[in-house]
A and B are shown apart, each in its own frame.
Chain A
Amino acid sequence: MEETFKARSMKQSFDWKLVLIYLLLVLIGWLNIYASIHSSEPNGILAWTSRSGKQFVWILTAFGLAGLIVFVLPPRIWESASIPLYIGVLFLLVAVIFLGVEVKGSRSWFEFGPVRFQPAEVSKITTSLVLAFLMSRPNFRITKLKDFLTAAAVIGLPMLVILGESETGSALVYVGFIFMLYREGLSGWFLVVLGMAILTFILTLTASPYTAILVLIALILLFNFLNGRRGWKFMLLGILYILVMALFPKGWNLLCESLIPGASLIGTVDPSVEMSIRQASSWAFLLRVKPLYFLIGSALVCLPFLLRLAYREKDTFLSLSVLAFLAGVVMVFSADFIFNNVLQDHQRKRIEVLLGMKEDPAGVGYNVNQSMIAIGSGGAFGKGYLGGTQTTYGFVPEQSTDFIFCTVGEEWGFAGCLVVIVLYVMMIWRIIQDAEKSREAFTRIYGYCVASCLFMHLFINIGMTIGLMPVIGIPLPLMSYGGSSLWAFTVLIFIFVVLDHEEKKYF
């Protein structure tokens, strides 16, 4: 009696579609790993020594892990064990800095004989569990400062340690937890501020500080308008200001040129000629005043008025906007400093190549260029399985790990890319839907954590292969070669599957 009941509930309450998508992605990954190595290691797909053979073993063991989680371990264990697991993994993260082996410039791998293991992969799981555990306590409110700081610390701690291992990519994934926090009630403006910070940084480096600050002001004005407290009059004034300031640099240059003969030559001729241009005119001091000073000056003049307005109308949003503007200005002026002094050499080069500040197809840009050629040459339907040339001659480095998506792009074309991306979207979509249906906060929050992690990996990894993101070495979930990553994502997903199942079983 009990047997039949259980069997039926398994069938009905398991999210079989999710499991199916998982299996498909793993299979597609495995086939493409074989395609990416078959010419340099010409063996069968199961050959023990080749990467595809090894991946087969990883896949089987990953299935074993999934079975263990689904059938053996009591589902409740994840909630109760979350904190000890988190602390244990944090300890491993620190220990690996001292005891690990160095792989490609970062010390983040443990090595046991032939097997390598990266604690940063596991830390995603434990961080998600602890977040779910803490945030599902009845009196937890993300809008309370103390609770927000607790959540931030849980995310920030492993992230900082991983940054210390100089695994920038893995650390970046943790930024994705902000989506989960948003779902749990964090103000959406956090997402906006994050986006604006990235935009300002990029504009400062690629366009100019002037453009960056102007765009920042425009966005802040727009958001204030959208937020509903400011009327049309305010908005029109803002648009007028932006327009004037957008044209100002050109006007200023015209003014300088009309007053100082030869002013337009400054910066293009050699210093001795410049000197004589400067000395020839009594207006030469104008050249020292940059339009940027006017922009910041005019904005600063407005600030006291805006602050008074904010105080009178108790408009917190406006006062926070002023703060955001000041922070933005500081960032614009420190962007160059951060870029040149804080970032490591290779990171700087990768960003330069991404933003088109430097062309370097034989050097740092090599990977991206080759990867884009591989994908681009795939066309609509690809060159056919095992038919890729970029792939087979080994032009793309790291092809079976971080650049596995190239093989998909080259051999299966746009159709293949579409299928793979749609599968990922479906997977994340289902996880979010299941999470929303859940009656328990723990399951819901954990589900959002899983979705966020998958999303970040998907976006960063594929973005990197097509030149939308700088080269950041993180794997494509379930598809890239490597046991650590496959195991970690299997465990991450199947804990959610079993939590989801556990709840539905009783309906």
Chain B
Amino acid sequence: MDLSRKNKLLIGLVAVAVILLAKIFYIQIIDDTYKISAENNSMVYEIIYPTRGVIYDRNGTIIVGNKVAYDILVTPREVKDFDTLMLAQVLDTSVTFIRDKMAEYRRNRKRIGFQSMTMLRQIPTETYNRFAEVQYQFPGFKGQVRSIRDYPVNAGGNLLGYVSEVDAAYLKAHPDEYRSGDYAGRTGIEAAREKDLRGVKGYHIFLRNSHNQIEQPYKDGEMDKEAIPGHDIVTTIDAELQQYGQRLMQNKVGSVVAIEPGSGEILAMVSSPGIDVSQLADFSRHYNEIMNDPYKPMFNRAVQAPYPPGSVFKLVNGLIGLQEGTLRPDSMFPCAHGYPLADHRPGCHGHKSPINLEEAIMMSCNSYFTFALRDILENKKYPDMDAALDKWHEYVESMGFGRKLGSDFPSELGGTIPTSKLYNRLYKKELGGWKFNTIKSISIGQGEVGVTPMQIANLAATVANRGYYYIPHIVKESPGIEIDPKYKERQYTMVDTTEYKKVIQGMWRAVNSGAGMGGTAWAAHVDGLDICGKTGTAQNPRGADNSVFICFAPKDDPKIAIAVYVENGGFGATWAVPIASLLVEKYLKGEIADNPARKAVEQRVLDGDLMSRVKTD
């Protein structure tokens, strides 16, 4: 037994070869599991697709369901001569369509082989029934049942999202999870909970003979697996409110986001113009139309558009000033139709002067908040303005700006909040650098500030809660569906809860002082609802100003916080304020009060058409 190492290795080599050959011998000669039959048969897997989970709103209304549709499949190899005219009539299509399709299959016959091709998609049940009666005359043609999405409520295509066949890029991003031919939720709620909604595919195994005809179930269906339907999802959406929001935002470009402050649940999310639900079920057919639409309906403004917030942002600067101690509720600052220290810019509207914080919020004084930010940035506590600005940035970020909020809604973007680094790059030191006057427009939410409607809605919720928020989210916990625990945790900002109370009275007076008293949002007033709000008018380099409004109500026990952003809508008070007040009234009271004034407001908003103001190039 004295083998050289060479010989041991050679023995090992032969041993491995023998093991391989033994296994091959076993599966080829001994075990007949793998030899389905002597006549060159083979197994065919027929995939059974699960039905997708149903999507409910917060009150149990179905917002996305399923319905049955039929596809017409053709196996070109099995088609015999047939009556083209009759088939066209039965299927409600043209003779040329069928001829073209058959010609196309003939051209590609090598690639197609024995496969079935989908000739018509999603034909109605009546058409299918007509076809089924005469199907025997058309060998090679058959109908296939498919479950497709059904949208009983117009909740907006961007919120719900679409389901479509997976493409190569998607397959690559999810290896081993999908096969081509599978469907997956690609945007919106459908994508947010794709894993729960999709269910598990099953399969039936058949034997196929060498003529490619299916003969019988394999092992009498013993190895078959049934599909498991997808899990239903309960969302935080209020279907009524969502639909109403869709209607109010019709013919306007912009977005509405409503949040329940006490939970962070998103009650409504509208992006307008959006994808119509009628286009969702067969998204691929409308794909080009949607992509070429100059108003970009695919773009979900609610979570992606980095808008300048305008005066809404004064709340942020006021709160930071209070926390830093550079601003007190009784601080008085002058206004002379603008900021008096530098050529009256930013300008302001006519109101009394000087004023305190509460009045400044109520009347939305530009000058006041320019002073307030100046005091924050020139605070002697910090070595220089760079440090003060970066501290300010930290505060703003803690309030949910300049970063993603972490919502479960997909494709959320973070917006932008400037830092000293940005300004040092924009204004080079050797060319004079930057001073407070260079950047003062950020005090009123202009300049380099970009925020999404969801972020300002979250600001409204934070103020409503007096200093904390829950991360906005779209899916509610329900049996079998868990949500990330982070959605149940209070998120505190760097501003103490005591400071928040000091800005609320100003927001209340902005709405509830009555017309002519200087409150910028008096049009939002609804008797008995105690709405608190802050208007904004943000410059839009492409035409008329954007109209912005955030509010929450009722003041002492907030149930809803809303942000409305209307592009090219003019003053905040013009469009955003009435839209928000109608939504709050709808949500809290169930309907718009039956008095002529409110009905007139509603009618004016529904009739409003701002599309011609929006530049699309």
Contacts and interface: CB of A to CB of B under 8 A. Distances in A.
Interface in B106-145: 110-111, 113-114
A227 to B, nearest CB: 14
Interface string A94-138: 000000001011000000000000000000000000000000000
A375 B16 contact: no
B13 A372 contact: no
A466 B176 contact: no
Interface in B1-55: 5-6, 8-10, 12-14, 16-17, 19-21, 23-25, 27-29, 31, 33-36, 40-43, 45, 47
A467 B34 CA distance: 12
A41 B225 CA distance: 33
A385 B40 CA distance: 14
B201 A362 contact: yes
B299 interface: no
A346 interface: yes
B172 A375 contact: no
A414 B10 CA distance: 23
Contacts of B203: 362
B45 A409 contact: no
Contacts of B110: 40-42
Interface in A372-397: 372-373, 375-380, 383, 387, 389-390, 393, 395
Among A346, A373, A376, max chain B CB count under 10 A is at A376
A39 interface: yes
Given A179-B9, A389-B40, A414-B25, A364 B176 contact: yes
Contact of A393 (B19, B25, B42): B42
Nearest to A370: B43
Main SS class of interface, A: helix
Contact of A375 (B34, B201, B205, B223): B34
Contact of A462 (B20, B31, B35): B20
A413 B212 CA distance: 22
Given A425-B13, A425-B14, A373 B43 contact: yes
A497 interface: no
Interface stretch (A196-204, A428-436, A484-492): A428-436
A372 B176 contact: no
20 contacts: A179-B9, A361-B45, A363-B176, A373-B36, A373-B43, A376-B28, A376-B31, A377-B35, A377-B36, A377-B42, A379-B29, A389-B42, A413-B28, A417-B28, A418-B21, A421-B21, A425-B17, A432-B13, A436-B6, A463-B20
A393 B28 contact: no
A409 B28 contact: yes
Contacts of A414: 24-25, 28-29
B42 A373 contact: yes
Contacts of A189: none
A390 B176 contact: no
Among B17, B114, B212, max chain A CB count under 10 A is at B17
Contacts of B43: 373
Interface in A403-431: 409, 413-414, 417-418, 421-422, 424-425, 428-429
B35 to A, nearest CB: 5
B16 A376 contact: no
Contact of A466 (B5, B14, B23, B113): B23
A436 B203 CA distance: 55
A379 B28 contact: yes
B175 to A, nearest CB: 5
Nearest to B209: A389
B45 A376 contact: no
B179 to A, nearest CB: 9
A182 interface: yes
Contacts of B225: 362
A183 interface: yes
A313 interface: no
A2 interface: no
B113 A468 contact: no
Contacts of A51: none
A377 B40 contact: yes
Interface residues of A, number: 52
Contacts of A3: none
B368 to A, nearest CB: 53
A346 B20 contact: no
Given A42-B110, A373-B43, A375-B34, 18 more contacts: A40-B110, A182-B5, A188-B5, A345-B175, A362-B225, A376-B31, A376-B33, A383-B40, A393-B113, A417-B24, A421-B17, A422-B17, A436-B6, A459-B16, A462-B20, A468-B19, A468-B20, A468-B23
- Which 9 pairs across A and B sit closest by C-beta, in order of nearness? A376-B34, A376-B27, A346-B176, A362-B203, A414-B28, A389-B40, A425-B17, A417-B24, A373-B34
A471 B10 CA distance: 26
Contacts of B27: 372, 375-376, 466
A455 interface: yes
Contacts of B23: 466-468
B612 interface: no
A468 B110 CA distance: 35
B292 interface: no
A432 B31 CA distance: 35
Contacts of B16: 455, 459
B210 interface: yes
Contact of A417 (B6, B21, B33, B176): B21
Nearest to A414: B28
A51 to B, nearest CB: 15
A58 to B, nearest CB: 24
A418 B12 CA distance: 18
Contacts of B28: 375-376, 378-380, 409, 413-414, 417
B113 A40 contact: yes
B206 to A, nearest CB: 13
Contacts of A467: 23
Contact of B20 (A179, A372, A421, A429): A421
A429 B6 contact: no
A198 to B, nearest CB: 14
A501 interface: no
A455 B36 contact: no
Nearest to A417: B24
A278 interface: no
Interface in A141-189: 179, 182-183, 188
Given A40-B111, A414-B25, A418-B21, A455 B13 contact: yes
Given A40-B111, A375-B24, A468-B23, A428 B13 contact: yes
